[in-house]
Amino acid sequence: MKHLYILIGNGSSIGIIQSINENRRAQGLPDLNIDLTNLFKYGDYFNFPMTNDPFLSPEHTPILWQLGARPGMDKAQANTIISQIITCGNVYALAAYEEEIVSRNNFNQFLDIFSSDENNATGTQVTKPSLPTYAQNNSFFIPKFGESEVINKLYFSAYGELSSYLRYLIIYYNSQVTDQDLANIEVGIINYIKKNGNNFSKIIFNSYNYDIFMERLLMVNQIPFTLGTFSQEPNKVLFYKPHGSISFSYKEAYKPGTEYKIPYHELSFQQKIKTDEFNIKYFFTDDYPKHNGLVPPYGEAERYEIAYYQKIRNTLIKAATFSQPDDVYFIIGNAYGNVDRFELDRINTSYNKWINVTYVDPFPNNDYQAVLSSLFYHYTQTPVFPE
């Protein structure tokens, strides 16, 4: 039987919230305090863990505050701050393990040449300083920046604050959306699965969203699913989240009544996290993990040696290689941003070129359209999900 592949981006969640707000207005109810395009807008609407204080504040996020992050600030300015933090994180991720960069690009043949030049110039043997190594994926990595350096660098440590802030922001957003809100709206891909699900042997979601709105829609509509790489439960619907999720709860956590601490070394620590170090949660009462299962927005995930990300991504690529000409592939609300392009291109080029592809977005990325129409023989673009 056929397979159904679904890739969803932030535009999908934006559409869900828009539909909920339209339904609420029709009932005379106020809009939800959710903005998925300006991530600092509601920074003082939710509390720092285990306090009654606003999260985005000089007390609890001093580095974000120093960089200019403020509740209710302009969207463009907010995105600039986030982009700068994550751009530095991307550079760190590339520089973090210098020996891995060398070995991956097959530069080893040149190392002796450079070493010889140094030795000949000085007349003495040049020895690299001894640094700690981490074993991961059967390789040894030498960190260029130690943990204390990460904590002391302004933008590197800001990454830790941003990662925690985003987790609890999205949890706050999630807390406002009731199951009834979700039951009251029509969502194209959910209706499509309910109507056509029996025509497919597998339905594979690839979600780049931290939120769990789509997962909750599946639950509300009684469509069972398995969170791929985290569970072996046999289900037709497999759900993958390569950039992480609020549902990824690191097993080491702060107990209620203790003090929550921002993981300022998150940028270095997250390189070592594996899938079996997370619990999967959809309810977040008293959930205060010591680390966050997120690759922040603008994060160029291909640069990060994150074990859980690699495992999920590689599974998605493998799934795409099994696609056949009769299969169906929906891309919903994915912006094809510059930092995601390499990752998306790796996945999309793994699909069968005859697969039936539909790109659903009211504001499609023209570059993405050009790429998709070049890769696939059966490609269409539509502003709304087809009936």
Residue pLDDT, tens place only, 11-62: 999 999 999 999 999 999 999 999 999 999 999 999 999 999 999 999 999 9
Residue of 173 and 268 predicted with greater confidence = 173
Residue whose C-alpha is closest to residue 330's, from 203, 201, 182, 199: 203
Contact 170, 35 (CB under 8 A): no
The residues, ordered by sequence, that sit 6+ positions from 65 with a Cβ below 8 Å of its Cβ are 56, 57, 58
What is the value of pTM for the model shown? 0.86
pLDDT at 377 > cutoff 90 = yes
Instruction: Please calculate the CA angle 147-148-150 and round it to the nearest 5 degrees.
Output: 65
Q: Please tell me the distance from the alpha carbon of residue 198 to that of residue 102, in angstroms, as a whole number.
A: 49
Whole-angstrom Cα distance, residue 55 to residue 57? 6
Q: Which residue has the tokens 């109810």?
A: 29
Report the distance separating Cα 242 and Cα 150, nearest Å: 24
pLDDT given at position 108: 42
The CA-based angle 289-290-291, given to 5 degrees, is: 90
Model pLDDT for residues 240-265, shown as the tens digit of each residue: 999 899 999 999 999 999 999 999 88
Contacts (Cβ under 8 Å, ≥6 apart) of 306: 270, 271, 273, 295
> CATH top-level class for 2-29+179-251+272-286+300-382?
alpha beta
Instruction: Give the chain's length.
Output: 387
Determine the average pLDDT of the residues in 363-384: 97
pLDDT in tens, 266-312: 877 776 788 889 999 999 999 999 999 987 655 455 555 566 778 88
Sequence ranges of the domains in the chain: 2-29+179-251+272-286+300-382
